[in-house]
């Protein structure tokens, strides 16, 4: 995987050519001061981005609620930045797209930050919704700081790549995750397909698997094949109905992209069982969850404090040692307190 291949998967690069088969979107270049804001620690929403919609309660409707709160605290108040022109552009785009949008940057959406949203989704109706998701997402941070870290021609000491970051606002659609599929293309051949929401079981897939593969193959060879500049890449589609597909996104062909139900050893090694699919006449390997059962959401851990996650998974031994020392100290303190109480009673 090379830097040029990752850049080809950047939304502002591929969308103009494929917008007729994708979801309507509006691109807003990120101003320098907003990029700096995304790089800063903490979540402080900019001034003026909070907009009360017609669907939200007004102050007059909040009878009996305390509107002015005077917090008696020594906490230093963070200064809120201000991006009036950027705010105005976002509000205009949201209005043009029907009042509800799905945000992302050049490569990633803040899917890992849905835990912080009011309705646990990526649906945004005002700039503050967008800012809160972007500032809370590790996926977005990766887009901004390490987009080429897995590229074979990347040199951190001499990185002069001009990405040209943009905020992408996509018209909100209530998509059924069971109809989303990830497709892997190697050397301009569709070699593998799997369900995108790979932890869930959808009974209809096993009944329609032949039609699903047929529709995706037809969509690929008629709409995408040899039109995308990379020879190897990953694309996501949404199959609304038989013969009706939407292009959702392009991703680099490499470990930076989640292989979901495939390993990257399988996808990149020509000697694996995917070898025979390097032929347009043979169908791609199709994998889906074939039985039911409860599976954890792979994004659920992003809503858990890092220290707790490290302790639960055992990935940071030093934190476990600190916790045991703290527990031992508490037990010693409790023992001392009991001895003092006993001495006072005697």
> What does the mean pLDDT of the chain come to?
83
Q: Which residue has the higher pLDDT, 294 or 168?
A: 168
Give the per-residue pLDDT at 37: 92
Each domain of the chain, given as residue ranges in start order, spans 3-51+79-171, 177-287, 304-334
CA pair distance 20, 76, nearest whole angstrom? 50
Give the per-residue pLDDT at 202: 94
- CA proximity to 173, closest of 336, 294, 25, 342: 25
In contact, 189 and 280? CB cutoff 8 Å: yes
Q: In the predicted model, is pLDDT for residue 41 greater than 90?
A: no
In contact, 237 and 247? CB cutoff 8 Å: yes
What is the pTM (predicted TM-score) of this model? 0.78
Mean pLDDT over 167-173 rounds to 97
Give the per-residue pLDDT at 63: 43
- CA proximity to 233, closest of 219, 246, 252: 252
**Three-state DSSP state, 168:** strand
Q: Which residue has the higher pLDDT, 65 or 346?
A: 346
- Both tokens of residue 142? 């990766």
Q: Which residue has the higher pLDDT, 45 or 184?
A: 184
Give the per-residue pLDDT at 281: 74
The top-scoring range by mean pLDDT among 55-59, 71-75, 116-120, 220-224 is: 220-224
Q: In the predicted model, is pLDDT for residue 306 greater than 60?
A: no
Give the per-residue pLDDT at 340: 64
* pLDDT tens per residue across span 1-13: 999 999 999 999 9
Give the per-residue pLDDT at 230: 97
Q: In the predicted model, is pLDDT for residue 315 greater than 60?
A: no
CA pair distance 25, 166, nearest whole angstrom? 12
CA pair distance 77, 44, nearest whole angstrom? 10
Helices 32-39 and 138-145 pack at an angle, to 10 degrees, of 120
Give the per-residue pLDDT at 311: 46
Give the per-residue pLDDT at 127: 94
CA pair distance 179, 204, nearest whole angstrom? 10
* pLDDT tens per residue across span 117-148: 888 899 999 999 999 999 999 999 999 999 99
b/e per residue, 25-60, with b = 16+ CB within 10 A?
bbebebeeebeebbeeeeeeebeebeeeeeeeeeee
**Could you write out the DSSP letters of every residue in 257-306?**
S--TTS-HHHHH-TTSTTGGGSSTTSPPEEE---S------TTGGGGS-H
Mean pLDDT over 248-267 rounds to 95
Given the DSSP bridges, would you call strands 244-252 and 233-241 parallel, antiparallel or unpaired? antiparallel
Give the per-residue pLDDT at 289: 93
Class of domain 177-287: alpha beta
- CA proximity to 133, closest of 108, 116, 120: 116
- Both tokens of residue 55? 């669907």
Give the per-residue pLDDT at 61: 46
Q: Which residues contact 276 (CB under 8 A, 6 or more apart)?
A: 282
Q: Which residue has the higher pLDDT, 323 or 176?
A: 176
What band does 250 get if pLDDT is binned at 50, 70 and 90?
very high
What φ, ψ does residue 296 adopt, rounded to 5°? -70, 150
Q: In the predicted model, is pLDDT for residue 174 greater than 50?
A: yes
> CA–CA distance from 14 to each of 3, 6, 222, 302 (Å)?
15, 11, 17, 29
**Beta strand residue intervals within the chain, DSSP E:** 25-29, 101-104, 166-171, 180-186, 189-195, 233-241, 244-252, 285-287
* pLDDT tens per residue across span 72-108: 555 555 667 788 999 999 999 999 999 999 999 999 9
Name the DSSP letter for residue 143: H
> In DSSP terms, which residues pair with 170 in a beta bridge?
25, 102
What band does 46 get if pLDDT is binned at 50, 70 and 90?
confident
Given the DSSP bridges, would you call strands 285-287 and 189-195 parallel, antiparallel or unpaired? parallel
Give the per-residue pLDDT at 293: 64
What band does 195 get if pLDDT is binned at 50, 70 and 90?
very high
């Amino acid at each position: 995987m090379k830097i040029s291949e990752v850049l080809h998967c950047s939304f502002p690069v591929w969308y103009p050519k494929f917008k007729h088969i994708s979801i309507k979107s509006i691109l807003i270049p990120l101003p320098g001061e907003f990029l700096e804001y995304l790089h800063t620690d903490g979540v402080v929403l900019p001034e003026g981005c909070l907009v009360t919609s017609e669907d939200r309660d007004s102050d007059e409707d909040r009878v009996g609620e305390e509107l002015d709160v005077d917090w008696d605290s020594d906490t230093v108040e963070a200064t809120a930045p201000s991006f009036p022109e950027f705010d105005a552009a976002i509000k205009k785009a949201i209005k043009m797209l029907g009042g509800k949008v799905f945000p992302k940057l050049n490569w990633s959406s803040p899917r890992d930050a849905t835990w912080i949203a009011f309705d646990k989704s990526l649906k945004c109706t005002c700039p503050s919704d967008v800012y809160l998701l972007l500032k809370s997402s590790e996926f977005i941070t990766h887009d901004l700081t390490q987009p080429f870290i897995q590229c074979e021609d990347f040199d951190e000491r001499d990185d002069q790549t001009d990405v040209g970051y943009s905020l992408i606002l996509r018209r909100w659609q209530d998509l059924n995750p069971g109809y989303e599929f990830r497709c892997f293309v190697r050397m301009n051949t569709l070699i593998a397909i799997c369900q995108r929401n790979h932890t869930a079981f959808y009974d209809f897939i096993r009944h329609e698997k032949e039609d699903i593969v047929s529709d995706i193959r037809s969509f690929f060879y008629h709409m995408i094949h040899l039109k995308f500049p990379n020879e190897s890449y990953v694309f996501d589609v949404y199959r609304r109905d038989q013969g009706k597909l939407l292009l959702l996104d392009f991703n680099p062909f490499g470990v930076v992209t989640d292989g979901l139900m495939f390993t990257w050893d399988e996808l990149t090694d020509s000697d694996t069982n995917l070898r025979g699919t390097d032929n347009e006449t043979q169908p791609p390997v199709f994998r889906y969850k074939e039985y039911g059962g409860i599976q954890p959401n792979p994004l659920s851990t992003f809503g858990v404090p890092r220290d707790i996650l490290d302790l639960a998974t055992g990935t940071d031994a030093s934190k476990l040692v600190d916790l045991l020392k703290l527990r031992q100290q508490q037990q010693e303190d409790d023992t001392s307190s009991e001895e003092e109480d006993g001495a006072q009673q005697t």
